Amino acid sequence: MFILALGGVPSDAPPPSAAGATHVFRSEKRVMAIDFLVRYPDYLADALLDRYEAEGDVSLLTAARQIFDNDEPSLRLVKMVRWNFGAYQSIETSLSLLSAVGFVRPMTFTSEGGARQYEFYVFPSAFEFLTASVAQVPALAWYRDRVTLAMRVANSQSGSKLKNWQYQHNAYSETAHGTVIPSIKESVSQRLDNILAGLNHGE
């Protein structure tokens, strides 16, 4: 729910079947890619370092460092299995529940080229529920904050582009289909240390 709500964009003209929705999240592939960044803090840290080196925004480096300071690659890792199109976790049951309570309306379209496209329309009640949930269970704020951080990496990138970035990691691309995608915390930790060492030496 955090991914769909915080990763969506305002929708001024939802289709009649989703009347009242204020935001829309486009692409199931993009949901999967962002979900992967939330489940694998080491990959998220690596993506943050990519953005830091491209933009020079120190807050991105700080966020990556905090991930390791809090030992999240070990404590927060929720493993995913690699299938034909990369990391995958069925979201059908979750979507059915969110739809049943009126938070989200999943919709499927067929493009002119025949490709199936997914859109998820999000209603105001979803945002109200998330705000109330965090107020009642403060520990849930981690998921809100983590999705917000993941969105800084995802930005306006398509699901395909985010997936392609995942495949650039050998540990990911070389994982056999049907097996668990391994952590890359050691290599990312070393990369972070190298960047910090370079800053300390004024490079």
Model confidence pLDDT, tens digit, residues 148-190: 999 998 886 888 899 899 999 999 999 999 999 999 999 999 9
pLDDT above 90 as % of the chain: 76
Confidence tier at 110 by pLDDT (50, 70, 90): confident
Q: In this predicted structure, what is the pLDDT of residue 202? A: 63
- Give the pLDDT score at 5: 95
pLDDT digits (tens, 9 = 90+) for 3-45: 999 999 999 889 999 999 999 998 888 999 999 999 999 999 9
Interatomic CA distance for residues 159 and 175, integer angstroms: 20
Report the relative pairing of strands 104-110 and 116-122 from DSSP bridges.
antiparallel
With 90 as the cut, is the pLDDT of residue 99 above it?
A: yes
Q: Which of 93-97, 114-118, 138-142 has the lowest mean pLDDT?
A: 114-118
CA distance 30 to 158: 6
- Round the average pLDDT of the chain to a whole number and report it: 92
Show the beta-strand stretches assigned E in 80-115: 81-83, 86-88, 104-110
In this predicted structure, what is the pLDDT of residue 52? 95
Amino acid at 103: F
Asked whether 35 and 89 are in contact (CB, 8 A), the reply is yes
CA distance 193 to 49: 11
pLDDT by residue (tens digit) across 111-139?
667 777 889 999 999 999 999 999 999 99
Q: What is the pLDDT of residue 203?
A: 54
Q: What is the structure's pLDDT at 27?
A: 86
Predicted pLDDT of residue 117: 83
